[in-house]
Structure 1
Amino acid sequence: MGHIDPYGLFQPTTALVTRRSLLVKVPPPARSWPTPAQLRAARGALGLSLPDVARLTGLGLNTLKRAEQSGLAVVTPANADRIVSTLHGLGVTFLDDDGAGPGLRFKAD
């Protein structure tokens, strides 16, 4: 079982590993969420205010403020998916740290 993440990749919810007839539950791999700075930069690149993002995502201002201050780990996975997929749908691609730091790519109109 699993789900498709905002980047179109399958993310397993859990995995079972068999070893000499023992079933061991293995947690899903660590997820690479955008950093708070990436979230703020994405919003800025789109020219959106926090209330604009709240309206587009259907989430509360406090939820978005927490995500931009402390990261997506402090909000529910469903809300994190909603934020990332909304920004992705508006043309933002989040880039993982490649040694030079995390970033984003903005698809202009």
Structure 2
Amino acid sequence: MEQEQISLAAQIRAARALCAMSQAALAEAAGVSSMTVKRAEGSGQPYPSDNAIAAIRAALEAAGVIFIDENGEGPGVRLKKNG
């Protein structure tokens, strides 16, 4: 797995935890299989397609997650402010 995929896998795991969302719930929201979510989180091969990753990310963003790009301190995630 490439470094970029490792970082994104960690972001997806953290984002799902912030939303208190199960892998199954994220899979349903993203329109992908639970196995695809598991592989996106770094637990299996092959790594999901770009379309599957985009769907997972969109589902997490719809749940209130902001993905933070690499900025010298590393990539991350946080929740949007309410209100």
Same fold, TM exceeding 0.5? yes
Deviations 1:78-104 (A, max 9, x none): 111111111111111111111111111
In proportion to residue count, which structure has more helix? Answer: 2
CA distance in 1, matches of 2:14, 2:66: 11
CA distance in 2, matches of 1:89, 1:82: 10
- Give, in angstroms, the shift of residue 108 of structure 1: 4.6
User: If the length of structure 1 is used for normalisation, what is the TM-score?
Assistant: 0.61
Structure 2 portions without partners, runs of 5+: none
For the aligned residue pairs, the C-alpha RMSD in angstroms reads 2.1
1:58 matched residue in structure 2: 31
Deviations 1:27-81 (A, max 9, x none): xxxxx776111100000000101111112112111111000016xx921121111
CA distance in 1, matches of 2:70, 2:57: 17
2:11 matched residue in structure 1: 38
Structure 1 portions without partners, runs of 5+: 1-31
2:76 matched residue in structure 1: 103
User: If the length of structure 2 is used for normalisation, what is the TM-score?
Assistant: 0.78
Q: Which has the higher contact order (CA 8 A, sep 6+)?
A: 2
Amino acid in the other structure paired with 2:41: E
Percent identity, aligned pairs only, is 36
Q: Is the 8 A contact 2:24 2:34 kept in 1?
A: yes
Which segments of structure 1 move beyond 4 Å, counting only runs of 4 or more? none
CA distance in 2, matches of 1:102, 1:79: 20
Amino acid in the other structure paired with 1:64: V
Q: Is the 8 A contact 2:27 2:56 kept in 1?
A: no
SS at match of 1:74: coil
In proportion to residue count, which structure has more strand? Answer: 1
